[in-house]
Amino acid sequence: MLLEPIISLPLALIAPFVLWPIELLLPYPFILEEIAKTLIIIPLLSSHKNKVLLYGVGIGILFTLSETILYALNTVYGSSHYLATRLLATGALHVTTTLIILSSGFYKKRYLLAGLMGAIIVHYLYNSFI
């Protein structure tokens, strides 16, 4: 039962690196990233809610951290101020969408797809306005 959260954190850390080549072919990061986070979250739904919420926040933060590192390695806008701003903004996004998915699955597992759709919409709106 404790093994799933421990595995979920490294998966969240490497997921953006795995998704990057896929996003070059399918340029829909708001869909691909939320599906990846959902797949990371699914094994956590059978664990105790209080501890898993902390892991959900950790998943969002680690996903953001590795995504920002990947972004810094692939862009010319590498100033530390810009990257720090991006880290904070996308950190809030990924933690929020992770908790949307997680909370919908905790309420009832059959609502996991609704949570995924909600997270995709939030991510799409973020990408559209930022």
Q: Report which residue type is found at 114.
A: A
Two structure tokens written together for 61: 């933060």
pLDDT of residue 47: 74
Q: CA-CA distance, 41 to 56, in Å (whole number)?
A: 8
Question: Residue 110: which pLDDT band, with cuts at 50, 70 and 90?
Answer: confident
pLDDT of 51 reads 77
Q: Which pLDDT belongs to residue 2? A: 53
DSSP 63-127: HHHHHHHHHHHT-S---HHHHHHHHHHHHHHHHHHHHHHHHHHHH-GGGHHHHHHHHHHHHHHHH
- Residue 77, pLDDT > 70, answer no
pLDDT tens string 2-48: 556 788 999 999 999 999 999 999 999 999 999 999 999 988 887 77
Q: Is the pTM of this model over 0.85?
A: yes
From the number of C-beta atoms within 10 Å of its C-beta (0-12, 13-18, 19+), residue 50 rates as exposed
Tokens of 85: 């701003």
Which amino acid, one-letter code, is at 18? V
- Residue 127 confidence (pLDDT): 93
Contact in structure between 26 and 124 (CB atoms under 8 Å): no
| pLDDT of 130 strictly over 70 | yes
Mean pLDDT across the stretch 107-119? 91
